Structure 1
């Protein structure tokens, strides 16, 4: 480590004299929760308005790109925000992220065609890519690891609550005003967040380098985006063996190889490879990717399962999915306020959480395959949320606790990137499983938006479709069980690094071995 970097660690707000008071911490976290609410609620609120958007703009065959463009842009930019915040400070970067998000919101609300909306949603996603990582990084700067559980639990709670109220809010705004206002409503909320963060976040950041690795950033973005496009388009827009998919895979590999060669020679790379020498970071990234791969891959079909297999209405299916998020909120808050402060250890709660999630997935798989009722399904959904709510906050704390200050930003953002990447792989994989199960059965292709298609077929076909879709959803739950079990196995190799009670560095960090 160079002398300049060492001075940065010493000069950063880590010493006891420079500790922020509780009032400052509360004000910053409140502003960050508003910022997180912007990004968290956007996906669900937009999904609700998609039918109205199609009726106004047309282009139903490319409608999914309204969501996909946002997800791809936000996921691919996460590591960049982390590294740039290490170089230039957290406050300028979160300003940039919010302003880009709001710019994309204004443009999306003014879109006059579906192509314009897709492009503007990508711009919005570029801003959204910095919201979650930077919020976690700023909390990591202000609060020592041993005291960080409550703050990180609040982040999980914000995401869970927003995922529940988003569809309701989207429907209300679309009905009372128009779909344009689901984007415009971000403006006053974003303005409040900017003002609150500007007033509350006053901690100085001593940047250690002003050098920007433009080539590394370009190669990383090209490789990541190409791989994400393969996940988004493969098997749906283009066959897996099509020249387009093969070309994207080749581009992702070539750009990735060049990126690795480049960062080995670059003195200040956009993604330092020595991050992957840290055992805690590597294991945490694998566990987070697997956990969210299983969760998003299976939970994607909860509404379909409730509406088609269990026979409830679309409105009621939303309430039946609610226990998942309620479980996440409860476990996140209990972990942050009780378990972590009392034990000072992050690993036991995660082991218990993934064990509980594995059992819950297994019960869901059995319940779906054997036609069990809500008395079995709903407690399993709730238990799944309880288990997974113990993983994300603790894992972020584990990584921030094990990394040096100069890598905290890029490490936290890259962990969020692997989490999102795992979720995308899970969604793609579960969709492929469902498609394979129903292929060749001459059944109407069902999605959450057209579950009523079965009403137009014969009773015999309806009965056959019910059996096929029940088995298909049970298979996705089985896949989720296996994936989360793998995450649990990997988790046992995670080092238990003692949590720091201050912002100083460990003299000896076992997580690096």
Structure 2
């Protein structure tokens, strides 16, 4: 097989300091998510092109989803350290460029670069922890990693909101630079690997087919029913291209010597269920984190700081649940822990479905917290279960495969839910065109996202835009609730024999 025979030099690898460096790298990615979501209303208000709103997330998530499997496999072949280094450096380059963006188009291009690097950070950081800690220690340490999201949740929206209000949104991307440099220095000093040199066969064909198929799917979901009617030749061409490339990818991976995605690991039912459920929860996650600030600012008329802290609640619930799951996995097992998380996802999604303009930001924060709690229980149980099921030689790709499915869910969700939002808002404004003085379009929603521009609107136009945005976002949250129900059903298929003490 030519797999990597890698050992960590125990005398030189300092586990606590490596864990700190890994957490710093993950914090860089985590704070990016909370800050950009908080800043997006200000960014789109400044750069315009509200119709491209979802592309800012989709571009980043696309490259993240496509590269995570490739990085995971490369880390199994060549070692964790050089691949993680490469990813952090590319991420930092993309972050610098994003801060200099002068249009939505250029920002989207720079987000592609940023996502290309981000694909290496979380999966390899998580794999390193799986390597240097025993099966009994992993659940507890995964809780530490999850706490990174809680810390970023408190600092990210606060810093992001302050920068947007008092400085400029450009700085929300540059805050990553010192964090990335510190992580690189610490990993260089304290993580030491002994890599056995072997000749490997890189699965370039698999990587190419994966990139084309996922990119095609994203374009189809974003543009289908919007710019291109569902029956148009463009949409039909994309559907055919996706079917051909994804079929070729699956066929090729079954015959490749060192495949990007070894499907044999999916034969274990617990891994299969964990990966498919990560897809559905990924769709939920992006649906809430991408569009909640828009609802809180545009409909509830709150500040960017308040909008940011409604998302903070999710990232606080997540690490709390992840920390609790360490003991729950041992006492209850993977299945029951995951089922409790699935119930929390249902309850949190229902909170968003019932949210109105008069509900207030506290209601939004409660929904965020409950969803975050559910995510913390399920994601931690999945990762610990997967890393305990496979051998070291497949741990990198197995961990990456699970994160790929969540990233794929994020990508599908950003495209699908962004398309639903634009489509429903366009229909609403078209149906109520006679109630406004001028012609309103989807881009008119930009006017709700800045207080000074919102205050200049006539009461009838403001109410029309807010009602349209409310109804459109409710469509998004109904889809989120549907995927929460699907996630719960999938979790119920986890084998009952799975125990938290699996090695």
TM-score by length of 2: 0.83
Q: Helix, strand or coil for the counterpart of 1:346? A: helix
CA contact (8 A) 1:19 1:142 kept: no
Aligned to 1:484: 484
The structure 2 residue matched to 1:350, chosen from 301, 320, 338, is 338
Alignment of 1:362 with 2:360, yes or no, is no
1:205-230: per-residue Cα shift (whole Å, max 9, x none)? Answer: 44775221122221222212222232
Q: Helix, strand or coil for the counterpart of 1:265? A: coil
Aligned to 1:410: 397
Pairwise CA distance, 1:280: 2.0
CA contact (8 A) 1:288 1:392 kept: yes
1:330-355: per-residue Cα shift (whole Å, max 9, x none)? Answer: 2222223x433x52723222111111
CA distance in 2, matches of 1:379, 1:63: 25
Alignment of 1:91 with 2:59, yes or no, is no
Q: CA distance change for structure 1 residues 424 and 471 in 2, over 3 Å: closer, same or farther? A: same
**Superposed CA RMSD:** 3.6
Aligned to 2:294: 304
Pairwise CA distance, 1:204: 2.9
Aligned to 1:450: 448
CA distance in 2, matches of 1:296, 1:60: 17
CA contact (8 A) 2:335 2:498 kept: no
CA distance in 1, matches of 2:60, 2:474: 30
Pairwise CA distance, 1:315: 3.4
CA distance in 2, matches of 1:52, 1:296: 19
CA contact (8 A) 2:223 2:419 kept: no
Q: CA distance change for structure 1 residues 138 and 367 in 2, over 3 Å: closer, same or farther? A: same
The structure 2 residue matched to 1:137, chosen from 127, 143, 146, is 127
CA contact (8 A) 2:222 2:416 kept: no
Q: CA distance change for structure 1 residues 302 and 48 in 2, over 3 Å: closer, same or farther? A: closer
Q: 1:380-399 to 2 correspondence within 5 Å?
A: 380-399=367-386
Q: 1:87-236 to 2 correspondence within 5 Å?
A: 87-109=77-99, 117-170=107-160, 172=162, 181-206=171-196, 210-236=200-226
Pairwise CA distance, 1:68: 3.6
CA distance in 1, matches of 2:339, 2:418: 28
Number of equivalences: 489
Q: Helix, strand or coil for the counterpart of 1:494? A: coil
CA distance in 1, matches of 2:486, 2:243: 26
1:415-463: per-residue Cα shift (whole Å, max 9, x none)? Answer: 1111011123233333344445441333654657734676566545655
CA contact (8 A) 1:349 1:390 kept: yes
Q: CA distance change for structure 1 residues 171 and 208 in 2, over 3 Å: closer, same or farther? A: same
Q: CA distance change for structure 1 residues 473 and 21 in 2, over 3 Å: closer, same or farther? A: farther
CA distance in 1, matches of 2:461, 2:258: 61
Question: Mean alpha-carbon deviation: is it higher for 394-403 or for 470-479?
Answer: 470-479
Aligned to 1:427: 414
Gapped regions of structure 2 (runs ≥ 5): 434-439
1:339-376: per-residue Cα shift (whole Å, max 9, x none)? Answer: 33x5272322211111122123224424549x656676
Pairwise CA distance, 1:56: 8.9
CA distance in 2, matches of 1:455, 1:176: 19
CA distance in 2, matches of 1:199, 1:344: 39
Aligned to 1:508: none
CA contact (8 A) 1:145 1:499 kept: no
Alignment of 1:339 with 2:337, yes or no, is no
Gapped regions of structure 1 (runs ≥ 5): 503-513
The structure 2 residue matched to 1:441, chosen from 410, 418, 431, is 431
CA distance in 2, matches of 1:54, 1:379: 27
Q: Helix, strand or coil for the counterpart of 1:204? A: strand
Q: CA distance change for structure 1 residues 46 and 380 in 2, over 3 Å: closer, same or farther? A: closer
TM-score by length of 1: 0.82
CA contact (8 A) 2:94 2:111 kept: yes
Question: Mean alpha-carbon deviation: is it higher for 292-301 or for 135-144?
Answer: 292-301
Pairwise CA distance, 1:131: 0.4
CA contact (8 A) 1:401 1:497 kept: no
